[in-house]
Structure 1
Amino acid sequence: MPRLFKFTSFSIRDFLVAAAPTASLVALICLLAYWLADPAPPRHVTIATGQENSAYEMFGKQYANALAKFGITVSAKPSLGSQENLQHLKDLGSGVDIAFVQSGSTEQAEAERKGLISLGSLFTEPVWLFMRDKKYVTQLTQLRGLKINVGPEGTGVPGLFKRLLSVNGVEPNELTLSALENTPATVALLEGRIDGLVFSSAPDAPLIQMLLQTPGIKLFNFAQAEAYTRRFSFLSHVVLPHGIVDLGRDLPAKDYHLIAPTATLVARDNLHPALIDLFVQAAMEIHGGVGWFRRQGDFPSASYTEIPVSPAAQKLYKNGPSLLQRYLPFWLANFFERMGVLVVALGALIFPLSRIVPPLYVWKVRSRVYRWYGQLRAVEQAIEDVPADRRTAVYSEQLKRLSDIESGVNRVSIPLSFAEELYGLRSHITSVRQRLMWLMAGD
């Protein structure tokens, strides 16, 4: 049986040898393309969040948990807020890859110049103006002479609140503005050291939840909210529904009108496409449900941002996850998607290369037969024009050499489809032997 396998119609060994150069070239191109295309995203990313007990801090932890499922480590970098986060993104040496940024913090031209992209709007961040209950304030003009905390400059709230005061004809020097961070500002409000404080945050923030339920603290009602949205395009009018905080305690006791910018997820334009997909999918999971100021499907969204939205994010919002991402593990789906262009290119390359392999295979098999023709030709040349006194010795030597050639040929194994070449060689050996014997008989 083992000998029977030598006589097959196709030689796998010869085919592998013939295909080796083409396969090596294709493998080399694949490795080069793999390195250039960088199909594997970095396994560590830094996100700039916000202050302690802020919504940004809380959501940063949720994103870290969501991406940890895919082997991506997300490190949170605390900050004062939106403006500081934006500055981190502009500063290439900050180490920040992605950050929460409030709408209205920059202009489109500036964002494009700095190479920033948006991954979409995540949620509304109402402007919360909490006042001590003893202060009766229904309009921002009534804040003159009061002590109001607007937070550090890095939060983005000071600039926004000053713009709100400006359209009401109130100069910042007409009231006392302080720059405490959220937690100490809340303590100062509860202790009566300030008259009010301003947040711009999602209602999920622990401090917002606490102040909405604290006796002696009331929320300012932006009765002119719709007018503010006509003045500032990045603001929207939202309503805090009657009883949404606590239905049993009837908190709040009425609807409150608020104005709200939106929180956006902003990154540098060199963020790996796979990470963009992961962050957008995490955003859909974290912010996609219903909330105090949103209906199902309102967020995340490619709208409500002045920063250009990444094409990859727009595609995901429009079409959802790709077919591969739905049914394959993340790393495998990412590999196939990133290497898709390479597959097309290889298809165009392999087709012409594949036409080289069959001729190489035929040459490889036939060469095992044809190399004996060289030795056979050498025998014929050796017996030409031999001097009479040396003919006997030369003829005997070449006859022995011919027998060695025949013995070697008999050990040659080639596919049956090339048997004609082998038997032709044997016939030619017999022909040369007969001629040699005729010459010896003539002497």
Structure 2
Amino acid sequence: MRRILRDLKIMLLTNLWIVPVVAALVGALFYFVAPPPPMYARMATGAATGGYHAFAERLREELASQGFELELVPSAGSRDNLSKLQSGEVQLALVQSGQELTLGSEQRETLSGLGVMYREPLWLFTSRKVKFERLADLMQWRLGVGSEDSGTQAVTAALFNANRIEPAQYPATWQQVGGSRAADALLAGELDAAFFVGPAENALIQRLAAEPTLRLVSLRRTPAYLARLPYLSEVRVGEGMLDMPQNTPERDIVTLGPVATLVSGESFHPSLTPLILEAARNVLKNGSLLDPAGQYPARPPLSLQTLSEAEYYYDKGLPILQRYLPFRIASLADRYIILAIPLLVLLFPLFKAIGPIYQWRIRARIYRWYKHLREIDQRLYKGNLSSDLSAEISRLENLEDELARVEVPLSYSSELYELHMHLRYMIERLQAYQRRGNEAAPAKSDSQPAPV
């Protein structure tokens, strides 16, 4: 066991050079890897009583379970949300489809669509006395067309424009009012009809649907509208879908509506896309009164560019690691794996060279002693070895003692013992030369003539 530990120590000390090399490569990996995405974002939601805010609250709760903090920022509506995105005040916002078309192409390039969250039907509630067939029939009634710069007003203006009814032609009885103000005025008899945009579950829509003095009417000629306004979609509402006790609507109707689109700005970190979309999928997994389960989120409108991370999500779902690991861990692993591959490419030949280098360094401990033996052998061959062989023999014996303290792994012991034999052979050879020299010296002195 002691021998094994000694061999292991020798191997580690011999290959100690690889430690700074690997440390430098790993340091480069941590230096060049992209920082992890922030676990925080701000989202513009619209009015606190609106459908956008209600959805954003559920999304915030879902993201909180993943350790992600979503701050909700109230706004005046879709147009205000777009402004906040462009200014960088928020990273995410819900925007009514079609609103992005009011921006220039350069402004739209700073935005990216993450996905459609749900449909936002356009509801037209009227009092019982109103007879409605076409939009032009509303010219004689007191109508709420939506508050200024709101999504509701944008949709109604587009529908009236398709009927060649421009804002300049609006009757004085039409009011730029929407939301709860329009609902209150409608219930108080101050308006004869009003438009609203929002999901069927919205508290305001449910309040109006439950009112027996009001009627929900159907918009006709929807194919003609869709041909002119492609950012809208057809919504079919069955009898009694909104309120069964009041049977609202009284019969199957058809209406139009935009879709609520989740849009990101330039300050949004793209790596957060699968986390946000998966949270939205969990929020919407059960569907709604009008949207089937599992239908949303869906691909964003073509009028907005789509992040590649969103395209991947809609094509293949979550990235592989995020299917099994928490987002924070999976995100870090994704980044390190990308740079770890070239690191492994560099380390593979490096570790492959450990064996030959280790073998060379161990043998170098032994072979370096042969240099002195070779020099003595060359001097013997040339006949110019020093006459004082005792000093050379003493030097070799000292080397022999020093060699005894050299440690090599057990597998290289045979080469060490061969060096011992060669060293001993050279000592004995020099000793033989020394003896022959000593024997020749008296004979030479006897042959010389005696001094006179």
Per the TM superposition, whether the score is higher than 0.5 is: yes
Partner of residue 416 from structure 1, selected from 382, 407, 410? 410
Report whether the alignment pairs 1:286 with 2:286: no
Cα 1:78–1:240 shift into 2, 3 Å: same
Question: How large is the Cα RMSD of the aligned pairs?
Answer: 3.3
Partner of residue 203 from structure 1, selected from 200, 203, 219? 200
Contact 2:215-2:249 within 8 A present in 1 as well: no
Partner of residue 235 from structure 2, selected from 234, 238, 252? 238
Task: Please give the alpha-carbon distance, in whole angstroms, between the structure 2 residues aligned to 1:237 and 1:88.
Answer: 30
**Partner amino acid, structure 1, of 2:328:** W
Match of residue 333 from structure 1: 330
> Helix, strand or coil for the counterpart of 1:123?
strand
Match of residue 66 from structure 1: 62
Match of residue 124 from structure 1: 119
Task: Please give the alpha-carbon distance, in whole angstroms, between the structure 1 residues aligned to 2:294 and 2:22.
Answer: 50
> Helix, strand or coil for the counterpart of 2:116?
strand
Task: Please give the alpha-carbon distance, in whole angstroms, between the structure 1 residues aligned to 2:270 and 2:222.
Answer: 38
Match of residue 2 from structure 2: 2
Moved over 6 A (4+): 374-388
Match of residue 164 from structure 1: 159
Contact 1:234-1:305 within 8 A present in 2 as well: no
Match of residue 406 from structure 1: 400
Cα 1:294–1:75 shift into 2, 3 Å: same
Partner of residue 171 from structure 2, selected from 144, 166, 175? 175
Match of residue 17 from structure 1: 16
Contact 1:276-1:313 within 8 A present in 2 as well: yes
Runs of 5+ consecutive residues of structure 1 not aligned to the other structure: none
Match of residue 55 from structure 1: 51
Indicate the percent of aligned positions where both proteins have the same amino acid.
29
Report whether the alignment pairs 1:31 with 2:30: yes
Match of residue 104 from structure 1: 98
**Partner amino acid, structure 2, of 1:310:** L
Q: TM-score, normalised by structure 1?
A: 0.84
Match of residue 184 from structure 2: 187
Cα 1:227–1:428 shift into 2, 3 Å: same
> Helix, strand or coil for the counterpart of 1:202?
coil
Aligned residue pairs, count: 431
Match of residue 312 from structure 2: 315
Task: Please give the alpha-carbon distance, in whole angstroms, between the structure 2 residues aligned to 1:408 and 1:78.
Answer: 84
Contact 2:233-2:257 within 8 A present in 1 as well: yes
> Helix, strand or coil for the counterpart of 1:144?
helix
What is the Cα deviation at residue 113 of structure 1? 5.2
**Partner amino acid, structure 1, of 2:25:** V
Cα 1:308–1:424 shift into 2, 3 Å: same
> Helix, strand or coil for the counterpart of 1:299?
coil
Provide Cα deviations, 1:356-414, integer angstroms capped at 9, x if missing partner. Answer: 333322233234334555677899999997987xx48xx45x65654443333223222
Cα 1:194–1:364 shift into 2, 3 Å: farther
Runs of 5+ consecutive residues of structure 2 not aligned to the other structure: 439-452
Contact 2:144-2:193 within 8 A present in 1 as well: yes
Please identify the structure whose Cα radius of gyration is greater: 2
Contact 1:141-1:169 within 8 A present in 2 as well: no
Greater RCO, 1 or 2 (C-alpha within 8 Å, sep 6+): 1
Q: TM-score, normalised by structure 2?
A: 0.82
Contact 1:49-1:78 within 8 A present in 2 as well: yes
Cα 1:15–1:111 shift into 2, 3 Å: farther
> Helix, strand or coil for the counterpart of 2:16?
helix
Report whether the alignment pairs 1:75 with 2:78: no
> Helix, strand or coil for the counterpart of 1:106?
helix
Match of residue 142 from structure 1: 137
